[in-house]
Structure 1
Amino acid sequence: MNRTADEQFLHRVETFLTRTGIAASRFGEMAANDRAFIADLRGTEREFRRSTLEKVEKFMDGFEAGVAHAGRRPSQAASDIRRSAAGS
């Protein structure tokens, strides 16, 4: 990916994190099975496979679609995720 595409992807992820309130490490674990995903993405020192980025995009799209279908705000769904993680 060129730098502009990397920046656009990072912006989308950062916006998603802000809107949902999901912690970066939790997001990385859920979306890419990698708790360091966001830290690595922010650092831009690591190249990611297209398949990984597509997996993350699919996760965000699915999360937002599920939230919209349930008629909830993203932050409410994220609270449920945090409670669920605390219980495990």
Structure 2
Amino acid sequence: MSDTLSRETAEATVRSALRGFATAADLAALRSDVPLRTTLDLDSLDFLTFVERLTTATGLRIDEVDYPKLATIGMCVEFLATRA
């Protein structure tokens, strides 16, 4: 991926990484400020899969210490856009 990641691209990447955890309609309607883990009922392995998908899509290293920064779609977008 390029050295910069627009917020629009970051959001599309996050929503794409969440595919399979919710229907396409649910993901499209998912607000950017709701907690992902509780809203989508993600267990630890699901969340790890989500993080791995983000890493693969962006090429960014995401450490366990960064996980709290990925609590909502908005927070994920902020994290990805400022780290890329």
So what's the TM-score if we normalise by structure 1? 0.35
The structure that has the greater radius of gyration is 1
Higher helix share: 1
So what's the TM-score if we normalise by structure 2? 0.36
